[in-house]
Structure 1
Amino acid sequence: MENFRGGEKKWIEGTTKEPFVNANMKEIAKTGWMSNRGRQNVASFWAKELEQDWRIGAAYFESLLIDYDVHSNWGNWMYQSGVGNDPRDRNFNIKRQAEMYDANGKFQNLWLQETLF
């Protein structure tokens, strides 16, 4: 992680401006797993908000995921970053995603509880 700075480091540590991204990043750091919805959101945040090279994010996930699959991981990152056969812009609205998939905040509270105190 010493090679990361600023927003990239905050993304890895789960201390960005987006609680939904943070909760997902804390989950993968502690468990080596993240839901597909989480993977899509954090990849979108990395590539679109932080404007970082999607390949670095994909490689970082490769180093952590216990269910790592080269095709799923790299394909998801390409898809979210808008490269490859379907180059549409996929800039997720993270707040809307959190409202849709964690409306009661249960997931975010679980993973962010240590930062609430």
Structure 2
Amino acid sequence: MPSGGQYGDRQNLQQLQQSAPMAASPGGDVGAPQPAGDVTDGLIGFDQPTQQPDTPVTAGAAMGDGPGPEALGLPNQPDEDLRRLIAYLPVFEHMANQPNSSKAARNLVRQLKGMA
């Protein structure tokens, strides 16, 4: 509420605001969408037997039996990108050795040297 004004103006302003009709929302007054069905349908409990007995539990992990993260087919995994940057290590070292270089630049050089 604004302050100041004549005595009683505040009460008049409140009454005007309360009596004014509220604007409808742009999309209309529509409720939230409801889920199509029970979201727990098809879930398998921890106490249930596996549905994929030939798949090792380490499938998808970076180590162990089964396919690793490369099976996802995602291009340019972070490790692959960093390996490609090793070729530019002398340039990054020069950048990191400058007086005003950032901590991130120095950490990048450390990370690349650790992989080389």
Query: TM-score w.r.t. structure 1 length?
Result: 0.20
Greater helix proportion: 1
Structure whose alpha-carbon radius of gyration is higher: 2
Query: TM-score w.r.t. structure 2 length?
Result: 0.20
Q: Which has the higher contact order (CA 8 A, sep 6+)?
A: 1
